[in-house]
């Protein structure tokens, strides 16, 4: 049987216009009535035509997630699965569809931009893990596409959600300094990305707060990958650090393996702290001390901010939203201090 708005209205005991308002997420419908209509919709499996809905609401109910990283990176980094999970849950809660866009080459990103984003198929976009030289974000700004960055941008026009990366890195480094370490090195993230720069800034702040100068030989650049962590740790070994703050757990895992390959014990010879608190952090040997960032919540908050921007645009409002979530130091065995 082909169900129509009239059929749904009859089964729910309401008018056709009430059903239309419920399906299009419009106000002025009592909550009990709204739930009764949705119960009938779910029971009969009614699927309103997207094209018809978009003509009424000027919305497609589709959000795009753009991650301008290599596909291989996204599928091997646990961070992205946690972030996508948080975004997906929030989209489902608000009855939005999520379009995930992955690219192997810059040319694919360009084609997708023309076909999907510029065509108006998406209500808005979330951009995660972008580098400052990537043309994607400037184009979104230029074309007036509603979007939210999951990373603090330097451009004050951009809406974003992020964690307090600098404060988290400061906490991690200060913890190592409190254990008596003075030769504390760091493996940075990419300095073309705000999290990489901010976590390096937090490391520098912690040393300055103790009256210590930064030994640039103890600063090794990484790329948020395990292999990058291994390579950076290899370059630090000749300088004999007694402790390392790695700007991501994934790099910390690579550094841990490199230290073991070099015959050094963690934390006996070198203490180690990461950043993220990925699921693997608690089960590696030794368990990794790390800075916990709420990755799933970060993704969900990005959706909430984007939807609030879409509502604000309907009301003629035009304000930039910036949300910064706190981090937490999780102490485990890899730093050599008592666990609490």
CATH number of the structural domain spanning residue 41: 1.10.260.40
In a domain, 242, yes or no: yes
Give the number of residues written for the chain: 340
Q: How many domains does the structure of the chain reveal?
A: 3
Do 71 and 44 belong together in one domain? no
Do 278 and 169 belong together in one domain? yes
Contact 54, 40 (CB under 8 A): no
In a domain, 246, yes or no: yes
Contact 288, 332 (CB under 8 A): yes
pTM for the model stands at 0.80
Do 42 and 98 belong together in one domain? no
In a domain, 340, yes or no: no
In a domain, 22, yes or no: yes
Per-block mean pLDDT, blocks of 10 residues, the chain (340 long)? 78 88 78 89 71 53 88 85 96 92 69 70 90 86 91 92 98 96 96 96 97 96 96 98 98 98 96 97 97 97 95 68 96 79
Do 237 and 120 belong together in one domain? no
Do 204 and 304 belong together in one domain? no
Do 139 and 50 belong together in one domain? no
Q: What's 81's domain CATH number?
A: 3.40.50.2300
Do 279 and 309 belong together in one domain? no
Do 253 and 217 belong together in one domain? yes
In a domain, 13, yes or no: yes
Do 27 and 75 belong together in one domain? no
Do 71 and 95 belong together in one domain? yes
282: containing domain: 165-293+329-335
- pLDDT for 52 equals 47
- Model pLDDT for residues 132-179, shown as the tens digit of each residue: 888 888 889 988 889 999 999 988 999 999 999 999 999 999 999 999
Q: How big is the CA angle at 163 (ends 308 and 290), to the nearest 5 degrees?
A: 145
Q: To which residue do tokens 């291994």 refer?
A: 230
Do 208 and 309 belong together in one domain? no
In a domain, 114, yes or no: yes
- pLDDT for 51 equals 44
Q: How big is the CA angle at 196 (ends 237 and 78), to the nearest 5 degrees?
A: 85
Do 201 and 271 belong together in one domain? yes
């Amino acid at each position: 049987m082909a169900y129509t708005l009239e059929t749904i209205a009859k089964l729910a005991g309401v008018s056709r216009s009430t059903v239309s308002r419920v399906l299009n997420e419009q106000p002025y419908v009592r909550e009990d009535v709204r739930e009764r209509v949705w119960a009938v919709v779910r029971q009969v499996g009614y699927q309103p035509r997207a094209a018809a809905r978009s003509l009424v609401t000027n919305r497609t109910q589709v959000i795009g997630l753009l991650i301008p990283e290599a596909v291989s990176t996204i599928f091997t980094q646990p961070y992205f699965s946690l972030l996508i999970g948080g975004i997906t849950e929030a989209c489902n809660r608000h009855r939005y569809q999520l379009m995930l866009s992955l690219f192997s080459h810059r040319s694919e990103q360009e084609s997708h931009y023309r076909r999907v984003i510029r065509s108006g198929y998406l209500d808005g976009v979330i951009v995660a893990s972008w580098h400052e030289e990537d043309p994607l974000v400037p184009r979104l700004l230029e074309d007036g596409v509603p979007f939210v960055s999951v990373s603090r941008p330097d451009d004050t026009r951009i809406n974003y959600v992020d964690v307090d990366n600098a404060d988290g890195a400061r906490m991690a480094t200060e913890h190592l300094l409190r254990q008596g370490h003075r030769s504390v090195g760091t493996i940075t993230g990419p300095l073309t990305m705000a999290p990489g720069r901010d976590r390096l800034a937090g490391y520098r702040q912690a040393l300055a707060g103790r009256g210590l100068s930064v030994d640039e030989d103890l600063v090794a650049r990484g790329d948020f990958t395990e292999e990058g962590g291994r390579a950076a740790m290899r370059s630090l070994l000749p300088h004999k650090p007694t402790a390392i703050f790695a700007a991501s757990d994934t790099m910390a895992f690579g550094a841990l393996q490199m230290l073991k390959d070099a015959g050094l014990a963690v934390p006996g010879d070198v203490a180690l702290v990461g950043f993220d608190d990925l699921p693997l952090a608690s089960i590696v040997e030794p368990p990794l001390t790390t800075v916990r960032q709420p990755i799933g919540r970060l993704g969900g908050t990005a959706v909430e901010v984007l939807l609030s921007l879409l509502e604000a645009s309907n009301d003629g409002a035009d304000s930039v939203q910036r949300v910064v979530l706190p981090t937490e130091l999780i102490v485990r065995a890899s730093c050599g201090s008592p666990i609490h």
